[in-house]
Structure 1
């Protein structure tokens, strides 16, 4: 089979059989298409050997790609050729001896509690004026921080996923795993205001119908009434937290990282935080203990006379 055709078949396998997230499937497929572009034209799967793969890695390194990118690409290649062996597309796996560059440990950037309180307070003041987008943005950021959910999980929420009485939200995480996450009264108040005064206006923009006739699916809507996208949420986080943080500290998961760190700072149990975040491995959650420890060391260096 030709390499390009095999890559498309593998992407369908990741989506339909492995049920990986769309973002993961896109990333792996993009990596493998980059591999195909580095091969001779019209290469067949049986033509690819370890030297081709190492040449591809060298090109990526020469471009200055991050170690995390190199590690992901190596994982994509290994998974692809292991699948190809199972499917009988190749007799032997050329990626078995492909090494994975060690990933450097980088701590997630987090906002301080005062910074979060300031930004959410300013958003709440703007939302009180009744602008539907301000009401939505306030509810979005309050829920991201309160529930520490992923941006993709937030964008996939439907109104029916909210349980106002219990103050919980049902989210579908990686691997289509569901979990129920609590949130606090400030987030509930922001959601109520958005659902009553913001969402009906946004929904009416799409439907072109009276505000009484509303679609009953997506919780968060964009400016034109469609389901809110992760890119729009990222833009909102960057816009609101950019002035309060350094540029490289702002990202789509800023509030998720901040919430996890603040919970551990406040004495939350690590396994409870793991369950709330939806991490499959406790080791993934432990990165936030390193953030807390680093913040403590920084405070010590600044404040202790014998630091």
Structure 2
């Protein structure tokens, strides 16, 4: 870089994190379906990637401990945890189903569509897994400009706002990385 060149100022976007009140208002709306409320609340409370939450199957859930096993980038497996808001919504969303995709599309895939992988079909309903693009469209429809990625920024930001130490802020619910041999009850170590 030439000595005379000036470095451009980098602008921070302080609006990425969604306020707790905004999520609460969105999830209390009567016109928002249960599936969307559950997805948005889980993304917010777990600080997890949308792709990881959308890939969840009912078998991955540990409802009593408010956690689920997810596969993250690179193929590693970790636990994500959620709060009371998600915990109240999940039993209604599951509605007695014992296996298959947690978040289902509104209808079965039609014959004109390409073949859906068996893992992405609910064996009990025949409906396909909700996809990222459709989840994004639904949040755009109801979320007044919110993006799926913004939902995961809230948890860490709110921990920081509460003067939580940096180590605890990196230990947001979706950030637990299990040690080898650790159980759900012994969460493992915090990534950082």
For the criterion TM > 0.5, the same-fold answer is: yes
Q: Say which SS state the counterpart of residue 144 (structure 1) adopts.
A: helix
Q: 2:57 aligns with which of 137, 150, 158?
A: 158
Q: 1:219 aligns with which of 86, 92, 102?
A: 102
Please say if residues 157 and 219 of structure 1, whose CA atoms lie closer than 8 Å, have aligned partners that are also in contact. Answer: yes
Which protein shows a greater Rg? 1
Choose the corresponding residue for 1:137, options 9, 12, 36: 36
Query: Could you say what the CA RMSD is over the residues aligned between the two structures, in angstroms?
Result: 2.9
CA displacement 1:85-118 (0-9 Å, x = unmatched): xxxxxxxxxxxxxxxxx99454362222221221
Gaps of 5+ in 1: 1-101, 128-133, 201-213, 283-307
Aligned to 1:231: 133
How big is the shift at 1:147? 0.8
Q: Which has the higher contact order (CA 8 A, sep 6+)?
A: 2
TM-score, normalized by length of structure 1? Answer: 0.44
Using a 3 Å threshold, how does the CA distance of structure 1 residues 136 and 227 change in structure 2: closer, same or farther? same
Match of 1:254 among 135, 138, 150: 150
Task: Give the CA deviation at 1:254.
Answer: 1.5
Q: Whole-Å Cα distance in 2 between the matches of residues 189 and 166 of structure 1?
A: 13
Per-residue Cα deviation, 1:102-141 (whole angstroms, up to 9, x for no partner): 994543622222212211121xx446xxxxxx12111111
Is 1:119 aligned with 2:26? yes
Larger helix proportion of the pair: 1
For 2:157 and 2:26, the matched residues in 1 are separated by: 18
Q: For structure 2, list consecutive stretches of 5 or more residues without a partner in the other structure.
A: 1-7, 108-126, 178-190
Between the aligned partners of 1:219 and 1:273, the Cα distance in structure 2 is: 28
Separation in 2, partners of 1:160, 1:270: 33
Residues 213-246 of structure 1 show CA distances to partners (whole Å, capped at 9, x for unaligned) of x8x221111112201111112122222221xxxx
